Amino acid sequence: MTLKNLLVAYNGGEASDAALHLGAQMSRKYDAHLTGIVAHGVPNIVQNFPPWLARQVSDTLDDIISTRVTELEDKFRSYLDGKVDPDKQHWIDVHADPDRTISYYTRMFDLTILGQYENLPAADEYTLHPDRIAHTSGRPILVAPKRFRPTEINENAVIAWDGKRNASRALFDAMNILETKRMVTIVTVGDKSTHQEARGINLATLLARHGVEAKHVVVPRGSGGTARTILDFCMEQKTGLLVMGAFGHSKLSEDLFGGVTKHILREAEIPVFVSH
């Protein structure tokens, strides 16, 4: 299945501008429809108002939100002008919690693209959390780094592989993208004892049967840990995409103690495709 139905979570921040840039490039590459979605909840400051005051400011707040959403749609369409066929541009406005809304809408699209986590103190009701969306959506997402503005898609990819269920899920979820890549490198962090290949088949052979040229390397874990090792490897390979399974440990554990998924989603300088 090729990508024909892309969703971009858009809130006007620097990271979502990067996601829109990537979405436009992928729309052209795959001749896909591109839908922008803005989801907006209730500002934190209003949630703390007493009920009588919240009612008084409700109409004013609605006007402000309506104006802001119109501005976002105009910015979205203005950026796509001349880049994406107007008949393949779409827009959705939902007045509901951003993370829950995007998680729900991901289930109706081939792929959802959003930006890295960023604080929007002046518009907290639009803030998105890629880690939460990746955990709850049940669909793959592609996270664009804040300053991602290449003129063309880098057709080299890296797959982070530890042999676990989430890594396998990510590999096969990303297959329709991997099949279009010039070169794919599979990286396992650890030592030779870390990676035990299945008898009778290996990952390079598996990908070759999909027409993908791939090699598998094992690299030692650096002093910065697994996440830093993977990110440094991607930079050394000059890759344009990292594919990885999300939350090998529980989401609660990652929230409390940190983890590979959260670290990579925050620090990556290339797009990261994640599945959970």
Give residue-wise pLDDT tens across range 200-223. Answer: 888 999 999 999 999 999 999 998
At 179, is the pLDDT very low, low, confident or very high (cuts 50, 70, 90)? very high
Which residues in the chain belong to E strands, given as ranges?
5-9, 33-39, 89-94, 111-115, 141-144, 156-160, 183-189, 214-219, 241-245, 272-275
Pair of tokens at residue 27? 């729309």
Q: What percent of the chain has pLDDT over 70?
A: 83
| pLDDT, position 3 | 93
- Sign of the CA dihedral 135, 137, 142, 146? negative
Q: What is the mean pLDDT of the chain?
A: 86
Which of 58-72, 178-192, 224-238 has the lowest average pLDDT? 58-72
Q: Which residues pair with 5 in a beta bridge?
A: 33
H-run or E-run covering 42: none
| pLDDT, position 59 | 59
Q: What percent of the chain has pLDDT over 90?
A: 62
Is residue 102 within 8 A of residue 16, CB to CB? The reply is no
Q: Which residues contact 146 (CB under 8 A, 6 or more apart)?
A: 14, 15, 18, 115, 116, 118
Mean pLDDT of 31-59: 69
| pLDDT, position 252 | 46
Give residue-wise pLDDT tens across range 239-258. Answer: 999 999 987 545 544 454 44
What are the Cα distances from residue 72, in Å, to 20, 64, 77, 276?
12, 12, 9, 30
